[in-house]
Each structure stands twice: as structure tokens, then as C-alpha cells.
Amino acid sequence: QVQLVESGGGLVQAGGSLRLSCAASGLTFSNYAMGWFRQAPGKDREFVAAITGSGGNLYYADSVKGRFTISRDNAKNAVYLQMNNLKPEDTAVYYCAARRRLGGSYYIGSNYEYWGQGTQVTVSS
């Protein structure tokens, strides 16, 4: 049974930083690309960042480029999202997701097979 468990969310002031973690179990982690998505109240879920299984390719939404960094540790079955210079518009529930399938956009949520429960990030102005 695949499980993805996010942690590290919280309340932070604008300009601050948070580091989200996602612990994976029940899968051969290095075979899966990992992504972070977020959903703000009243809005659709949106792509934030993704990393391929080897960590060799990274993808970012334009809105977070230069501020967020995705990374992974395959020895620990974990993926991280370092978020710097946070803005109020980054407030959302953040989800990690896993995909093994090849092909298709990393930016689309429906291309991911497994999802975590999410962690709340709130940025105050």
C-alpha cells in the first residue's frame, strides 16, 4: 500500500521560509517522479514543482521559480520543497504526488497515481 505523508506546513510571515517534506512508503521510490501541487480555497489545484526519479530533471511553475526548490533523497524515500520569500498568494494546502508512468506532462495532476493528504501553508502579510 502506497502512502505519501506530507509535513512541515505552518504559519509564516511574508518573506519567510518553510521546508515541506513528503515521506513515501510502499513503492520503489526511485522509480517514481514526484510532484508538489497546491490548492487554495476556492481555486483549482495547481502544479508547483516536480522532480524525476533520478533527480536529474526539475520542473517549476512560473509563479515559484527562483523562490522554491524541489529535491529528493532516494535513500530516505523523501521529497522536499524548500520555499523561500513566501508570499500571501502562496497560501494553500500543499500536496505531494507520485507518478511512475512515462510520458505526459509533469504539470498535470491527473498524470500522478498517488497523492498525500496535504499540509496547510499559510502566509500572512
> Which residues, 6+ apart, have CB-to-CB distance to 53 below 8 Å?
29, 30, 31, 32, 33, 74
The predicted-structure confidence for 50-98, as pLDDT tens digits, reads as follows 999 999 999 999 999 999 999 999 999 999 999 999 999 999 999 999 9
| Predicted confidence band of residue 10 (pLDDT cuts 50, 70, 90) | very high
| Predicted confidence band of residue 11 (pLDDT cuts 50, 70, 90) | very high
Report the DSSP beta bridge partners of residue 10. 121
For residues 3 and 117, give the distance between their C-alpha atoms in angstroms, rounded to a whole number: 9
98 Cα distance to chain centroid: 10
**According to the model, what pLDDT value does residue 103 have?**
81
The predicted-structure confidence for 33-50, as pLDDT tens digits, reads as follows 999 999 999 999 999 999
In this predicted structure, the answer to whether residue 101 has a pLDDT above a threshold of 90 is: no
